[in-house]
């Protein structure tokens, strides 16, 4: 992660528009007091905070770029644009083009062009696609090629695919959600949306898997517990076949599939089965190595699978990896 968002990325929570608006408003007030060094410094600090709390509002980005222009901070503007392009999934070629450009003159124009081509708001993005089947297909192909481990990118694209689901593209949502979740399992919002879809389709084991992942990463959601209560109430009130939690074998199979998706998605290589015996390394050392190599999602699904298989050491490592993900 680069530039002004090096601290923002590490502290990111799901966007909170009210706090973003509050800090942007404070920044604007400081600028109205006068463009002296002290006021501009305070304005920039609040403007940075507005992006921290809500990176989905283009006004927050606009203001920070304007402040950087006031300071004639060409490298600062480049850093902001690099962060934005990382969230939007832009390729390295476009980023390289920023190196020799006078961004004090063109930075704001480039920012507006990015928002016009690729809106941050999922509803504006959907209006731009305008239910064009070719554009929707191109979006799916492009997303599968993107690195979306960055939490902001993962949230942005998860809200786009949620918009697709709302418009009836449920199969595409199922396909693309797995790509997002394989790269960032901590995105509990998407796990919950996935669970809702499986539950509505009466794919109850798959719904349980999704809600279980959501509650693992965000215990306050109680998504798995609520699902089980709904199922119990449903079965008590209707003449349907009984349903129980998925068997261990099915849980292991699900986690193994997610593990493979993580390897394929993040590293774009063919998956080869490997056992701990083949690696001649214990699970704790293997997980530590995976974390160092930025293979956190892969490590998470690995230890959850091994824990489901009865590996006690893996059970302890699940909590460790969850803490690393929270502090990432």
pLDDT in tens, 71-124: 999 999 999 999 998 898 876 666 677 777 889 999 999 999 999 989 999 999
Q: Which CATH architecture has domain 5-119?
A: Alpha Horseshoe (1.25)
Q: What is the pLDDT of residue 5?
A: 41
- The first and second tokens of residue 22, run together, are 């509050």
The chain-wide mean pLDDT, for the chain, equals: 84
* Least confident segment among 42-56, 80-94, 164-178, 253-267: 253-267
**Burial of 112 from C-beta contacts in 10 A (0-12 / 13-18 / 19+):** middle
Q: What is the pLDDT of residue 203?
A: 93
Comparing CA positions, the residue from 183, 206, 218 lying closest to residue 301 is 183
CATH of domain 123-237: 1.25.40.10
- The first and second tokens of residue 302, run together, are 């690995």
Mean pLDDT, to the nearest integer, of 5-24? Answer: 67
Q: What is the pLDDT of residue 154?
A: 93
Query: Can 5-119 and 123-237 be said to share one CATH topology?
Result: yes
Q: Cβ contacts of residue 60 below 8 Å, gap of 6+?
A: 20, 24, 47, 50, 51, 54
Alpha helices in the chain (DSSP H): 5-11, 17-32, 37-53, 58-70, 74-88, 92-97, 103-117, 122-129, 133-145, 151-166, 170-183, 188-200, 204-217, 223-237, 248-267, 276-279, 283-292, 296-308, 312-327
Q: Cβ contacts of residue 248 below 8 Å, gap of 6+?
A: 308, 309
Q: What is the pLDDT of residue 2?
A: 41
Q: State yes or no: pLDDT of 275 exceeds 50.
A: no
Q: 283 or 166, which is more confident?
A: 166
Q: 35 or 174, which is more confident?
A: 174
Q: What is the pTM of this model?
A: 0.77
Q: State yes or no: pLDDT of 269 exceeds 50.
A: no
Q: Is the dihedral of CA 211, 215, 216, 218 positive or negative?
A: positive
* Domain assignments of the chain as residue spans, ordered by start: 5-119, 123-237, 248-327
Q: Cβ contacts of residue 110 below 8 Å, gap of 6+?
A: 81, 98, 101, 103
């Amino acid at each position: 992660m680069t530039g002004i968002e090096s601290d923002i990325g590490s502290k990111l929570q799901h966007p909170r528009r009210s706090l973003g608006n509050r800090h942007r408003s404070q920044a604007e007030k400081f600028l109205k007091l006068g463009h002296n060094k002290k006021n501009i410094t305070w304005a920039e600090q609040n403007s940075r905070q507005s992006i921290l709390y809500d990176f989905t509002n283009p006004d927050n980005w606009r203001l920070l770029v304007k402040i950087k222009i006031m300071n004639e901070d060409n490298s600062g503007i480049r850093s902001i644009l690099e962060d934005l392009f990382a969230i939007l999934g832009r390729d390295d070629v476009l980023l390289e083009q920023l190196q020799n450009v006078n961004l004090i003159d063109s930075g704001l124009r480039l920012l507006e062009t990015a928002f016009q081509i690729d809106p941050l708001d999922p509803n504006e993005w959907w209006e731009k696609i305008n239910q064009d089947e070719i554009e929707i297909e191109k979006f799916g192909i492009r997303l599968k090629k993107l690195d979306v481990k960055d939490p902001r990118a993962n949230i942005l694209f998860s809200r786009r695919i949620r918009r697709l689901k709302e418009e009836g593209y449920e199969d595409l949502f199922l396909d693309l959600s797995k790509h997002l979740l394989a790269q960032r399992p901590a995105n509990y919002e998407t796990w919950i949306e996935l669970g809702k879809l499986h539950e509505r389709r009466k794919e109850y084991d798959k719904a349980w898997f999704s809600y279980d992942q959501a509650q693992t990463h965000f215990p306050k959601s109680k998504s798995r517990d609520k699902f089980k209560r709904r199922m119990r109430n449903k079965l008590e009130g209707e003449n349907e076949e009984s349903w129980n939690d998925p068997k261990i074998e099915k849980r292991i199979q699900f986690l193994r599939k997610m593990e493979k998706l993580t390897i394929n998605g993040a590293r774009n290589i063919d998956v080869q089965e490997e056992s701990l015996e083949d690696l001649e390394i214990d699970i704790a050392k293997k997980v530590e190595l995976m974390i160092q190599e930025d293979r956190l999602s892969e490590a998470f699904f690995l230890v959850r699978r091994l824990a489901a298989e009865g590996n006690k050491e893996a059970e302890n490592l699940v909590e460790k990896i969850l803490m690393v993900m929270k502090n990432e």
